[in-house]
Amino acid sequence: MKTQSYPRYGKVYLVGAGPGDPELITVKGAKMLKEADVIVYDRLANPALLSMSSEQSEHLYVGKRPDKPSVSQQQINHILVTKARSGKVVVRLKGGDPFVFGRGGEECEALRTAHVPFEVVPGISSALAAPAFAGIPVTYRREARSFTVVTGHTIRNTDAFANWEHLVHTDTLVVLMGMSRLAQIAAMLIEHGRDANTPVGVIEKATYASQRVVVGTLETIAEQTELLAPPGTIVIGTLASKSKQLAWFHAENSIINNGISNDRLHKQFAG
């Protein structure tokens, strides 16, 4: 039986850029950046990572912005296939982990269909890194044995989000890309039976020097975070309250407790 042969192509590496801090990329991820001929990167991948690449490498920005004209997923797939078919080593640099709300699976399907070799280099997802940098464990012995990660990006109405009955019972709920819909999420959780006094932590720009953390409750958190902006990670559950004791990362505007930042607290006590 004659086997079908395909042209020899380059290769595409889907690399997780991690949550933001360039030092949090994996060793293999950094290695692939150095070896890449082409780097195709997203909005949530820290541009500082590009400094790890060779001077001869080509950098293509394909970031998507909510409700703004952006490069389509089909166009991105075409770029990856075309560059690889020209014999290039291509790094597809994606914020967090490629397979956690990053459409990495879709891109792998496109590459497989085009018979282009690919490899996935996992990254640290902000679903784990953001709580860790805020001093919020997502599990804790005898207090929280499970956690659920969902995206708030696609909420257009209250029925499209998820199974609310399930979410109100999860020990720790982590919501990515849900900052603009925080009030709606909190209201729906309360409506479906979650205690209004359930602690909530919101981490803005996790792992960056400008990281800010707000700790409140389902009832108060929307008002407390009015001045915060995406990207942000929402952590809902009793463990969110541990941020006040376990916070270790001292950013420019570290912890905001009930709407008062540490910077303001220090000034009040000093004065």
To the query of whether residue 52 is one of the catalytic residues in this protein, the response is no
Does 37 qualify as catalytic in the annotation?
Answer: no
Distance CA 88, CA 17 (A): 20
Residue of 21, 37, 42, 97 marked active site: 42
Which member of 37, 83, 177, 242 is catalytic? 177
List Cβ neighbours of 57 (8 Å cut-off, separation of 6 or more): 36, 37, 38, 39
Token pair listed for 110: 């496109």
Tell me whether residue 242 is one of the annotated catalytic residues.
Answer: no
Q: How far are the Cα atoms of 56, 179, 243 from residue 222, in angstroms, in the given order? A: 46, 9, 18
User: Cβ of 187: how many Cβ atoms within 10 Å?
Assistant: 15
- Residue 53 CA to residue 174 CA, distance in Å, equals 33
Distance from C-alpha of 266 to C-alpha of 122, rounded to nearest angstrom: 40
Distance CA 209, CA 227 (A): 18
Which residues pair with residue 200 across a beta bridge? 216, 236
Catalytic residues: 42, 64, 177
